[in-house]
Structure 1
Amino acid sequence: MNDVAKPVQSWKVTLPCTRAEAEALDGDIAAFTMMEQPPVLMTSEATPDDEDAWRLDAYFEGKPSVAAIKLLKTLVPSASRAKPIVEALPDEDWVTLSQQGLEPVTAGRFHVRNIATDPELPDHINLLIEAGRAFGTGQHETTAGCLAMLDRMRRVGMRFAHVADIGTGTGLLAFAALNLWPRAHAIASDIDAVAVEISADNARANGVALGDGPGRLALVTAAGGNHPALIGRAPYDLLIANILAGPLIELAPTLCALVEDGGTIVLAGLLNEQADAVIAAYRTQGMRLAERSDRGEWPTLRLRKRPSIGWKRPRRINAAARGEAPGFGSI
């Protein structure tokens, strides 16, 4: 008997919406952030000669529940009486297909393209992160917020020599850091081995050298920050973590222990209403909030380690805490 599990069937739910509703759906939606596999939402014009007639397509891994469809309808009130079109999709890489129409993202001096045929932007750092299996194409507000924060840090003269990107996803934020501080030693990690593989491919596509040494990026499959490869390179003067609020809080002792006296941590992946809890967790570990920048409902936090804390090996919040993050790379 063949015991190999069949791949999960992908489904699409389509609803009509207005242009205003479509524009309000830019980025990921807070209502779905707690789902293990949140849907990918795409909007497009439904009728070329009617600028207010738009459509919402939601792509799910597995057949969407009645509750998920009801939640989806709350995002587009004009479709409250509309019957959703629910259909199973053929076995294709639907995440890539759904993202092929994404526009390039410009944040600070960075211009991130998702399609190789899109033109580069003059006088910008152009990066190519093609849509695919890992998070972090630049489309999400948290990733764009981190890019803008890193650019702003460079513009005010901040310098870094040892950089870590925890939960790297596609490698984008690590690439950005190396473009800003090209002599830095950098390492990027993700719990997902596929994400690490994709990051390596993206590094080669963007001319980022892999390996050890200044100006090179090391890649490692690691859960959180409590891993020999990450600890062995510590302490870091810049650590980036674009994951989710829960893992950020769980990892606070581990990540702060990896940062040198006076070092900087950039955090993202949290919602406005989660910011106070995240800040409190890092303040307990000797960090102070130096800057906060909001993009919609997604804040990006820059924290600095107080000189009185100094370097120490990672410690955990409690006996049950494993110093690990779930399978989330850069959003």
Structure 2
Amino acid sequence: MSETWKVSIPCTRAEARILAADYLFVSSADSSPTIVASETDAKRPDEWMIDVYCDAEPDPDLIANLLLLSPSAQAASAAPMIERLADEDWVTMSQQGLEPLRAGRFHVHTASGHPSDNPGLTNICIDAGQAFGTGHHETTMGCLQSLDQLRRSGHRFRHIADVGTGSGLLAFAAHHLWRDAKIIASDIDPVAVAVTEANAGQNAIKLGNGRSQIRLVRSNGLDHPALRQRAPFDLIIANILAGPLVALSPQIAAASAPGTVLLLAGLLSRQQAEVVRAYVREGFRLKHARLANEWPCLTLVKAKKYGWTRKPHRKKSPLASDYFGEC
């Protein structure tokens, strides 16, 4: 039976939020640890804790890497707390404190939570495990609300890609909103792909290549042959990080057609201008920005062919509306 160890490191609320959006870090272990950030005292809202679960006793190199997650703990020379856990289902235990959430028409809960009996809500059960994405972070909440708004405003999509799917939550939401769509969900992390497959089974969502099904692939961006074959998409969702979003802009543009809707999240508000500029250069226009705390969720649309040309002899912002035709 494998061991389970927990390393607890104090952090600030801001560090926990950044960690929730950027959960990849260098590890000296053979398998990726699971990270859970939680508030320690409601009366002290800035005091949070990072709990890292490992399947082997953490060595000094791993501890040093984990401390990089909390600069405030490093500055205060705070020693991490290390303990070996009893043989229990610690993933389930770590999620027991997560309350169900409401985002648009979606009611998202873990297996230890309860589905809603409101017929107007769509229940989705997510147990993230080693792939994060239970919906409790502002980036995922913003994407769920934006997807719901797209459906309410009459959008119909038939070919959808969820890039960096994590736990599969956003792909599942798109499946519920557009039942006849062909959806492909990808992630660079094989653990995320396995977790999404398990979550699909828990939600009775069929996996496959047909309509009303979700195809799962492991891919670095949109580099998988299945993604290239299915392009162009009429809806692309990418809830990742600002750096990868900028780097992937040419790939995403190549997989888009005039009128393609693009939903971007995982960036901070201070990174929005850089991300938008990257996609404006690829022929997109910003339609809407939904902001929750410092986390924007951006909705962009690919301009019609020949419909976005820079007017000569005028100096305007690259976001000026007259650079674009109708979408």
TM-score category by the smaller chain?
Answer: 0.7 to 0.9
Task: Deviation per CA, 1:214-235: give whole Å up to 9, x if none.
Answer: 1111111111012211010111
SS in 2 for 1:158: coil
Equivalent position of 1:154 in the other structure: 151
* Pairing partner for 2:275 from 278, 285, 288: 278
Q: What is the distance in 2 between the residues matched to 1:291 and 1:274?
A: 16
What is the letter of the counterpart of residue 104 of structure 1? P
How far residue 193 of structure 1 moved from its aligned partner, in angstroms, is 1.5
Of the three residues 301, 304, 308, the one matched with 1:307 is: 304
C-alpha distance in 2, partners of 1:213/1:304? 26
Contact in 2 for aligned 1:238/1:265 (Cα 8 Å): yes
What CA RMSD, in Å, does the superposition of the two structures yield over aligned residues? 3.1
* 1:193-272 superposed matches below 5 A: 193-272=190-269
Q: Does the alignment pair 1:56 with 2:57?
A: no
Counterpart amino acid of residue 89 in structure 1: E
Q: Residues of 1 paired with 2:72 and 2:300: CA distance?
A: 35
Change in CA separation of 1:227 and 1:14 when aligned onto 2, cut-off 3 Å: closer
Q: Is the 8 A contact 1:275 1:299 kept in 2?
A: yes
User: How many pairs does the alignment contain?
Assistant: 286
Instruction: Compute the displacement of 1:56 (Å).
Output: 3.2
Query: Higher mean Cα deviation, 216-225 or 90-99?
Result: 90-99
**Distance across 2 between alignment mates of 1:234 and 1:67:** 39
Match of 1:71 in 2: 72
1:229 & 1:32 partners in 2: Cα distance?
Answer: 27
Q: Quote the residue 2:121 is aligned against.
A: 124
Instruction: From the superposition, tell whether residues 85 and 101 of structure 1 become closer, same or farther in structure 2 (CA, over 3 Å).
Output: farther
Q: 1:241 to 1:35 in 2, by over 3 A?
A: closer
User: What is the distance in 2 between the residues matched to 1:133 and 1:70?
Assistant: 23
Q: Structure 1 unaligned segments of length 5 or more: list them.
A: 1-5, 16-20, 46-50, 75-79, 311-331
Counterpart amino acid of 2:72?
Answer: L
- Name stretches of at least 5 consecutive residues in structure 2 with no aligned partner: 27-33, 54-61, 308-327
* Equivalent-residue separation in structure 2 for 1:88 and 1:141 (angstroms): 30
CA contact (8 A) 2:182 2:211 kept: yes
TM-score (norm 1): 0.77
SS at match of 1:148: helix
Match 1:86 to one of 80, 83, 103: 80
Amino acid at match of 1:107: A
Secondary structure at 1:199's aligned position in 2? helix
| One-letter amino acid of the structure 1 residue matched with residue 103 of structure 2 | A
Query: What residue in structure 2 maps to residue 112 of structure 1?
Result: 108
Deviations 1:80-124 (A, max 9, x none): 8xx957311326776654333111121111111023442425121
Mean Cα displacement is larger for which, 257-266 or 109-118?
109-118
Superposition deviation, residue 281 in structure 1: 0.3
Q: Is 119-128 or 64-73 further displaced after alignment?
A: 64-73
Query: CA offset at residue 157 of structure 1?
Result: 0.6
Structure 2 vs 1, CA of residues 240 and 99 (structure 1 numbering), >3 Å: closer, same or farther? same
Rate the CA distance shift 1:308–1:8 in 2: closer, same or farther, 3 A. Answer: farther
Aligned to 2:58: none
What is aligned with 1:316?
A: none
Correspondences of 1:285-324 after superposition (within 5 Å)? 285-308=282-305
Q: 2-side partners of 1:72 and 1:178: how far apart?
A: 42
SS in 2 for 1:230: helix
Q: Which amino acid aligns with 1:135?
A: F
Shift of 1:63: 2.1
Assess, with a 3 A threshold, how the Cα gap between structure 1 residues 224 and 32 changes in structure 2: closer, same or farther: closer
| Percent identity over paired residues | 42
Residue identity opposite 1:87 in structure 2: M
Cα displacement (A) at 1:28: 1.7
CA positional deviation for 1:208: 1.0
Distance 1:205 1:183 in 2: 20
Cα distance in 1 between the residues matched to 2:230 and 2:221: 15
Q: 1:308 to 1:70 in 2, by over 3 A?
A: closer
CA distance in 2 between counterparts of 1:182 and 1:68 reads 40
Summarize the alignment of residues 159-198 of structure 1 with structure 2, pairs less than 5 Å apart. Answer: 159-198=156-195
Instruction: Provide TM-score, normalisation by structure 2.
Output: 0.77
Q: Offset at 1:249?
A: 0.3
